[in-house]
Amino acid sequence: MRIRQMIAEDIPAVAQIEKECFSQPWSEQGFLDGMKDAIFFVAEDPQIVGYIGMYRMPPEGEITNVAVTPKMRKKGCGRELLLRMQQWADEHGIDRIVLEVRSGNEPAIHLYRTCGFEKIGVRKNFYQFPREDADIMEWKRLC
C-alpha cells in the first residue's frame, strides 16, 4: 500500500469511496473546493482504497473525513492514513488535531485511540441520517 498526497484527478475515486462510507457524502465539487484549504492523502493498493482530509489552521488542524473501502478495513489502511497525516502535521507546525466521530462508531473510535487521539467532549445530535451524537477527539503533538 502506498500513501500519497491527493491530486485533482483522484477526486472521482475518492468521491465514490465517500458515497460508500457516509450517509451525507461530499460531492466531487466539495472535494475540489476543499483542496484549497485542506490537505488530503490517498491510499493506493493499486487502486485508491482510502483517503483522509484535514483543514489546516496552524497551529491546529481538523480532520474532515477518514474513509476506507469495506474490503480494505481491518488491514491497517486507516491507521497508515492517520499516521501519515500526523507526520505531515508535525512537519508543518500543527500541534493539535481535532475530529468528530459518530459516538456509536466503535471501530473508528478504536482506530483514533490507537493513533493517540483522546475524547475531549460530545456534540449532542450532531449527525443526521441517522441522528446521533458526535464524540470530539483530539491529538496533540508531544513536543
Which of 18, 51, 80, 112 is flagged as catalytic? 112
The phi and psi torsions of 96 (rounded to 5 degrees) equal -145, 135
Which of 18, 51, 80, 100 is flagged as catalytic? 100
51 part of the active site: no
- Is the peptide bond prior to 46 cis by the omega test (within 30 degrees of 0)? yes
Contact 39, 54 (CB under 8 A): yes
Cα gap 25→34, rounded to integer Å? 13
Cα gap 7→80, rounded to integer Å? 18
**Helix residue ranges, H only, 92-137:** 106-114
Please identify every residue annotated as catalytic. 100, 112
